[in-house]
Amino acid sequence: MTDVTINAADGGTFTGYLAKPAGGTGPGIVVIQEIFGVNHVMREICDDLAAQGYLALCPDLFWRQEPGIQITDKTDEEWAKAFELYKGFSEVKGVDDLIAALGVLRDTEGCNGLVGTLGYCLGGKLAYLMATRSNADCSVSYYGVGIEKNLDEASAITKPYLAHIAEKDQFVPAPAQQQIRDALSKISCVTVHTYPGCDHAFARVGGAHYDKQAADLANQRTAAFLKEHLTA
């Protein structure tokens, strides 16, 4: 497990946390952070994916504001910091950075050339945008916030895309969820699952709204999806 350097399309460099499988080879997954940076939770997700046989890379998307952010969801101060970073974040540049990370991962020694994306919260929205704007081989969103604002791009999805929606998501109201389901239901390579009674971040281990049963189900679905679409 190590940090790697990625060249941004508009100049400058940023880092990403890279976890490799014990065997050294496998498909790649770009793991897309929540609003708390490349923290312990994101690194553990990468390590778990590596244990499943993937090369997992989580790039630092807040590097233009403050490189190396690693905060938690445990204090009001950290939440305030996270929302400050979120407000200052450019989705357009973020997607550009993710596309750069995707290219780096594809070229990493041991990667079989197939690379998907997997994002949570902010990362869930960005995984959707990677499905519409990049050549990722598949993409997965967990409770993406703001997807309904970019549904005009949905027709650009040509590779498999999986979305997990929390029914009681405090950041994605029911009307927005319905808009998402309605738009994505028209695309054959898209699968959407809704988790009844669950709030935002139901799959974040240790989080206030963690729901083990729903998280296990979502993670099982994700594992099967990634295995199906990233196996050479």
- Positions marked catalytic: 169, 200
CA angle, 90 then 219 then 109, to 5°: 65
Q: Provide φ and ψ at 29, rounded to 5°.
A: -135, 125
Question: How far is the C-alpha of 132 from the C-alpha of 157, rounded, in Å?
Answer: 5
Amino acid at 27: P
Measured CA distances, 185 to 91, 169, 182, 203 (Å): 24, 20, 5, 24
Residue 163 in contact with residue 192, Cβ under 8 Å?
Answer: yes
Question: How far is the C-alpha of 18 from the C-alpha of 55, rounded, in Å?
Answer: 7
* Other residues' Cβ atoms within 10 Å of the Cβ of residue 111: 19
User: Using CB atoms within 10 A of its CB, is residue 200 exposed (0-12), middle (13-18) or buried (19+)?
Assistant: buried
